[in-house]
Amino acid sequence: MSLRAYLAAFAAAILFPVAVFAAIVGYFIVEQHRETIRRGAHDRVLAVSTAIDIELLGSIDALRALAAAPSLARGDVRYFRRVASVLLADHPDWININLALPDGQQLMNLSVPEGRPLPNIGELDGSFARLRETGQPGISDLAVGPVLKRWSLAVRVPVWERGTLKYVLSAGLNLDAIKRVIDAQQLPHGWVGVVIERQGRIVARSLRSEESVGKLASASLREGVARAPTGWFRGGTIEGTEVYTPYRRSEVTGWAFAMGIPVEVVDAAAWRVAALLALGLAAAVALALVLARKVGRSISGPIRALAGATEAIGRGERVTIPEAGRVAELRSLESALRGAVKAQDALTRAEEQTRAIVNHVLDGIITIDERGTVQSFNPGAEKLFGFQAAEVIAQNVKMLMPEPYRSGHDGYIGNYLHTGQAKIIGIGREVEGRRKDGSTFPMDLAVSEFRIGARRFFTGIVRDITERKRAEEELRASEERLRMALTAGRMGNWEWDVRTNAVSWSPDLEAIHGLAPGTFAGTFEAYKKDIHPEDWEHVQRAIAESLERGEHHMEYRIVLPDGEVRWVEGRGKVFLDASGAPMRVVGVCTDVTERKLAEEALRKSDRAKDEFLATLSHELRNPLAALTSAAHVLKVSDPSRPPAMEARMVVERQTKHMARLVGDLLDISRITFGKLALDREPLELGDAVARVVEMWRASGRFERHDVSLEVAPVWVDADPARVEQITANLLDNAVKFTPAGKAVRLSVARENSDAVLRVSDDGAGLTAEAAESVFDLFVSGDQSAGLGVGLALVKRLAELQGGSTSVASAGPGRGATFEVRLPAAQAPAPRERRERVGPAGTRSVLIVEDNEDARQMLEAVLALEGHEVRAASDGKTGLALAGSARPEVALIDIRLPDMDGYELARRLRAACDGARIGLVALTGFGGAQDEQRALDAGFDAHLVKPVSPERLKQVIATLA
């Protein structure tokens, strides 16, 4: 069944009840219409009937009034006749008035002149009988009267005299008056109005009135009227016209009024309505059919076209989807089909792309079945493995694998198929491939699985990663090198993600911060926590500026977990994102603590050197000042008098002081360059210290202080001269910093395995900070009071002899205690003790010295000792004197104007020809090298200027 037939049936199914309903509605409309007409007709009939009643009743009332005329009561018929005449003249609806006795015998008739005999009208109709019977006024039937000889009728009223009917007064009605009532209705054309009296005779009629009066009305009307007072029936007129007839019969008069409405007038309207309905129905049916056809066509056409396109798509053909017209559902279908076509196109393109990729990709793509048989082998794989696809397809994929993969492969597949446990599928891993030429290469292998029906296939994508492996290896090596470099340089690198605030550190940086690898919390806050609080602001500023400038370079301190403070140098570079905002900062930190300490030490030592030079100048000028004054006194005064004696004391003390100063400096220099030679021997420390104290006391240097000494014997293995130096320097320091009158205490004691020398004073004391550096070189407690050499030398000399130094002070102004510890030694056997001072005796001494002052001083000193002294100012003179005087001892300045001291020494040795002569070198150079050179040249001793009289005495004694 076609769509069109369906649509037609559908339309018919809808139209049928509509048609039935329309018929019912049409019927009701026709009936309604008829009813309307009928009701209107009835109303009109009632109105006309009532109007006729009023006409008749009016006549009766008028006649009743006449009946009450006194003349009639008197029986004066003649007079009454005149009264009636007047009334008749005034009453156009009447045509006659008569008076009769109750039996019908007329007494008077205005249509008959007076005096003429009058007929009895009692039997003319039944009206007299009715009147006599009822005593009520009435209307006569239509009859042809004996007087007028035409159809007429009259109203009759009784005239009573003392309760007895005396007369019957009648008025003949003008039938035209009745007709006028009908005419007043102005009935539509074709309609007929008719009034019939009690006997069914026509009184008046709207049509052909003359002919009809007196005739009997149609039988149907008469029957209807007789049957019911009102009614409606269909019948014919006397002319034979088919009419509907409404009628009413008056209860008062017994007359009826009927109207004839032509049947076609009533039914034509109903039929018009019915025809319109039928026409509408027909139009609806026709429209439905046309629409069904048209709609059917507009749907079925596109559907057929789309169906064709769909079939074409199904066959895989490229099609153009036809337009689907205006139906929304069809358009959806069309767009769905277009989508399908597009999807098909995309699928086709994707297939082509995939094919192109598979054919052109550098990766090898190999498909195998579950037995390992190669199904496909793309060009990339050909290139990688060196096989042509044809050589591999249908072979087992194992041929592409070296051992151990080769033997294991069947097992791998079997295992996977059996257990479903993937070792490589969907995971990927690095394996080795084997080329056609047998060489192997590392490759990434990714395997995926797919099924076609019940068969399972595996696709492997392989990539040669030789280059990557090498790059990785290089990267690893380079990272290793970097790590080594960082470790060696105490460097660590870091990275700060500005947006997340995450900070990552290399293990080296963690090490610099004293953290175990991997324990850095990784936040900027954790980094901040390590920074020295005093440096944080500066670091923060540097970082903030770097975010603008792009890099930073700063130095700051960090506090390690154990509290150690270290210096770090940081360099960082900022990397920006595409919008130019800082994204991350990458940097390197270097532990520069050693460098900073070295710099600091350098600065300190530089400062100390400047101080030292200034102080040295001062320190040298002070003894010089005293010496200058003393020299003046000696020059101008009597040598035997007190000023000269005092001057000589000054000279002795100040020269000693200067000698010690210069000696200390030289010793520092020797120690610094590792050239200080120690002449160690068993020494009783208490004894050695006591000797120094005695010497100082003798020279008057303790006169302002209360110096006490408490010694216990303890032996050490030490250089006596150095122990003396240590003691002297400690004393010098104590005296210098202790106000006059205060105490200085020395003690020597054995404590465990140490010999301990302590020098305490009630002097200036030290701060803890000063105590730390008090033994440092060129550090002086009072910048105007010392070179800062003495205590430094004490420390170094003690250390050189296996000892140590320390200082304790309760604080500034509360004194200080300096302590020197030397390892205690066994007391030697008595015979080993060296006799320190030789037997006194006078010698013949030659002095060769070009500096006149020095020469004279030496001469004076030696002469005072009782020696026989000769002096020369140059080498030649010296040789000559030696030849003549044969001295036992010669003191030779190394620097002479004509030859150096070494030369002179050799010549003297030669000149003396084996005779015993003690040669002593005098030199300003105190180095061990100088001493060795002197000994090599044949000197027996080497004295460094200035030479103290004691030392000179000692040397000469030993040489003798």
Query: Is residue 636 at the binding interface for another protein, with CB under 8 A as the rule?
Result: yes
With 0-12 / 13-18 / 19 or more C-beta atoms within 10 angstroms meaning exposed / middle / buried, residue 748 is buried
Query: Is residue 627 at the binding interface for another protein, with CB under 8 A as the rule?
Result: yes
Dihedrals phi, psi of 917, to nearest 5 degrees:
-140, 130
Query: Is residue 555 at the binding interface for another protein, with CB under 8 A as the rule?
Result: no
CB of 621 vs another protein, minimal distance in Å:
4
Q: Measured from the CB atom, is 618 or 745 closer to another protein?
A: 618
The interface mask with another protein, positions 834-873, x = CB under 8 A, is ----------------------------------------
CB of 651 vs another protein, minimal distance in Å:
8
**Site residues (CB under 8 A) for another protein, limited to 299-328:** none
Query: Do 234 and 245 touch, CB atoms closer than 8 A?
Result: yes
Among 59, 237, 245, 654, contact with another protein (rule: CB under 8 A): 654
Q: Measured from the CB atom, is 22 or 650 closer to another protein?
A: 650
CB of 611 vs another protein, minimal distance in Å:
7
CB of 645 vs another protein, minimal distance in Å:
10
Amino acid letter, 31: E
Q: What is the largest CA-CA distance in the chain?
A: 251
CB of 598 vs another protein, minimal distance in Å:
23
**Site residues (CB under 8 A) for another protein, limited to 501-530:** none
CB of 948 vs another protein, minimal distance in Å:
17
For residue 599, what are the contacts with CB-CB under 8 A and spacing of at least 6? none
- Among the candidate windows 144-152, 623-631, 744-752, 839-847, which touches another protein by CB under 8 A? 623-631
**Site residues (CB under 8 A) for another protein, limited to 44-103:** none
Query: Is residue 629 at the binding interface for another protein, with CB under 8 A as the rule?
Result: yes
Query: Which residue, 545, 457, 689, 620, is CA-closest to 946?
Result: 620
Query: Is residue 332 at the binding interface for another protein, with CB under 8 A as the rule?
Result: no
Among 45, 503, 626, 759, contact with another protein (rule: CB under 8 A): 626
Query: Which residue, 900, 901, 883, is CA-closest to 891?
Result: 901
Residue with token string 């040298």: 620
Among 480, 646, 706, 751, contact with another protein (rule: CB under 8 A): 646
CB of 614 vs another protein, minimal distance in Å:
4
d(CA 441, CA 402): 9
CB of 692 vs another protein, minimal distance in Å:
19
Among 618, 670, 742, 906, contact with another protein (rule: CB under 8 A): 618
**Site residues (CB under 8 A) for another protein, limited to 745-804:** 784
CB of 797 vs another protein, minimal distance in Å:
26
Query: Is residue 632 at the binding interface for another protein, with CB under 8 A as the rule?
Result: yes
- Among the candidate windows 117-125, 219-227, 540-548, 650-658, which touches another protein by CB under 8 A? 650-658
CA angle 211, 217, 218 (to 5 degrees): 115
CB of 949 vs another protein, minimal distance in Å:
18
CA angle 793, 794, 797 (to 5 degrees): 80
Query: Is residue 809 at the binding interface for another protein, with CB under 8 A as the rule?
Result: no
- Among the candidate windows 253-261, 569-577, 620-628, 839-847, which touches another protein by CB under 8 A? 620-628
Query: Is residue 647 at the binding interface for another protein, with CB under 8 A as the rule?
Result: yes
Q: Are strands 754-761 and 743-751 parallel, antiparallel or unpaired?
A: antiparallel
- Among the candidate windows 395-403, 553-561, 626-634, 723-731, which touches another protein by CB under 8 A? 626-634
Tell me the HSE value of 745 on the side-chain side, using a 13 A CA sphere: 8
Could you tell me the end-to-end alpha-carbon distance of the chain, in angstroms, rounded to an integer? Answer: 161
Q: Measured from the CB atom, is 647 or 894 closer to another protein?
A: 647
Tell me the HSE value of 731 on the side-chain side, using a 13 A CA sphere: 26
Query: Do 954 and 724 touch, CB atoms closer than 8 A?
Result: no
Q: Measured from the CB atom, is 614 or 827 closer to another protein?
A: 614
Bond prior to 946 in cis (omega within 30° of 0):
yes
For residue 235, what are the contacts with CB-CB under 8 A and spacing of at least 6? 218, 220, 221, 224, 242, 243, 245
Strand (E) or helix (H) holding 506: none
CB of 627 vs another protein, minimal distance in Å:
7
Query: Which residue, 109, 27, 94, is CA-closest to 63?
Result: 94
Three-class secondary structure of residue 846 per DSSP: strand
- Among the candidate windows 44-52, 509-517, 648-656, 793-801, which touches another protein by CB under 8 A? 648-656
CB of 755 vs another protein, minimal distance in Å:
33
Strands (E), 130-255: 138-139, 143-144, 151-152, 154-161, 164-173, 192-196, 202-205, 230-236, 242-249
**522 - beta bridge partners?**
none
Which residues in 754-783 are b (16+ Cβ under 10 Å) and which e?
bbbbbbbbbbbbbeeebbebbbbbbbbbee
For residue 664, what are the contacts with CB-CB under 8 A and spacing of at least 6? 725, 729, 787, 789, 790, 793
Q: Measured from the CB atom, is 198 or 701 closer to another protein?
A: 701
Among 350, 390, 624, 827, contact with another protein (rule: CB under 8 A): 624
Q: Measured from the CB atom, is 443 or 650 closer to another protein?
A: 650
Q: Measured from the CB atom, is 208 or 609 closer to another protein?
A: 609
- Among the candidate windows 333-341, 538-546, 618-626, 828-836, which touches another protein by CB under 8 A? 618-626
Query: Is residue 653 at the binding interface for another protein, with CB under 8 A as the rule?
Result: yes
Query: Do 321 and 310 touch, CB atoms closer than 8 A?
Result: no
Among 53, 619, 761, 865, contact with another protein (rule: CB under 8 A): 619
d(CA 237, CA 230): 18
Query: Is residue 702 at the binding interface for another protein, with CB under 8 A as the rule?
Result: no
DSSP 323: P
Query: Is residue 812 at the binding interface for another protein, with CB under 8 A as the rule?
Result: no
CB of 635 vs another protein, minimal distance in Å:
9
**Site residues (CB under 8 A) for another protein, limited to 588-617:** 610-611, 613-617
Among 185, 637, 877, 958, contact with another protein (rule: CB under 8 A): 637
d(CA 374, CA 736): 103
Q: Measured from the CB atom, is 588 or 764 closer to another protein?
A: 764
Three-class secondary structure of residue 515 per DSSP: coil
CA-atom Rg of the chain in angstroms: 83
Q: Measured from the CB atom, is 239 or 638 closer to another protein?
A: 638
Distance of CA 477 to the CA centre of its chain: 38
Query: Is residue 643 at the binding interface for another protein, with CB under 8 A as the rule?
Result: yes
* Residue 460: other Cβ atoms inside 10 A: 23
CA angle 767, 768, 770 (to 5 degrees): 65
DSSP 399: G
Three-class secondary structure of residue 556 per DSSP: strand
Query: Is residue 111 at the binding interface for another protein, with CB under 8 A as the rule?
Result: no
User: How many positions of this chain bind another protein (CB under 8 A)?
Assistant: 30
Query: Is residue 630 at the binding interface for another protein, with CB under 8 A as the rule?
Result: yes
With 0-12 / 13-18 / 19 or more C-beta atoms within 10 angstroms meaning exposed / middle / buried, residue 862 is buried
DSSP 459: E
DSSP 354: H
Q: Measured from the CB atom, is 764 or 917 closer to another protein?
A: 764
d(CA 608, CA 188): 154
CB of 642 vs another protein, minimal distance in Å:
9
CB of 815 vs another protein, minimal distance in Å:
17
Query: Is residue 734 at the binding interface for another protein, with CB under 8 A as the rule?
Result: no
CB of 666 vs another protein, minimal distance in Å:
20
Query: Is residue 633 at the binding interface for another protein, with CB under 8 A as the rule?
Result: yes
Residues found near another protein in the complex (CB under 8 A):
610-611, 613-619, 621-630, 632-633, 636-637, 643, 646-647, 650, 653-654, 784
